[in-house]
Structure 1
Amino acid sequence: MNRYSRSKTPNTWESAFGDEASERNEQLLKNVAVSLKFDEGDRYDDYERLLAYVYADGQSVQEILLSEGLARVAYVFPPNDRYVDAYKEAEAIARKNNLGVWEYKNYVTKRGFDETKVEEEKTEVNKHPSECLIKGNINRENKKIYHIPTGKYYDQTKPEKWFCSEQQALDAGFKKSGNK
């Protein structure tokens, strides 16, 4: 999956995880009852974007995306802040588990995302010590899986992280690939 791609907005680029967030959003909203709720303030922001809470079959789409690390809490201003505490709790789950935008250290900033942090970390991943041969990657469902050298899919796996031991991978929240 391409971490950087052309944005849907002309002359701009998407952030890392933009494609994943779009795909997950589409998945959440497909073939379900969708409803919108509004807060007490304006319905549009200064950029004419609709400000609404989105629910798919009664579940908060914002909370789901936040808990999976595909969004972050930002630019919330009263009186449109009814669910900000719940959103911060959902975001904390992703942050604790290093999911999505929280995967890369210092990628999330107060003013957005620092794309250079993704490239820096990817460069470091590719410079693994020869004794650290366990490959870790994150699949399309944001599941963290690690592969050992004798595993069935080891050779075709493109690592996002390297580990020196299975315990190190487990401590980082990765689960062993079930294919031997």
Structure 2
Amino acid sequence: MLDGYAQVMTIPHNVKYADLFVKLQREAREGDHGLWGSGGQHSQDQGQAAHTVPAGAAGKGPGPHGETIKGNINSKGEKIYHVPGGRYYDKANLEAWFFTEEDAQAAGYRRSKV
């Protein structure tokens, strides 16, 4: 049964099942299950940030599901996200993909300073 009460987070080198988890998360989101119920958003009172996929976002970016924002963890352990056109976007060591800056921030990432 697909309940949809988990959000994928990958931490290198622990990525053996990442593709499966991303697939299941996508199915839950598309089926409005769990966190993605109520029209693609879940309640703020559940202690989670709202997660939405912008209309038409799928397939628009280089991420596995069309995401465009890259998240990485630097050598100091800081979670930083990079937007297309940013100075380090092409050089960032990928830890996660995001559709929106809000999604990245909800996952604890901050925007790159350059």
| Structure ranking higher on relative contact order (CA contacts 8 Å, 6+ apart) | 2
> Normalized per residue, which structure has more helix?
1
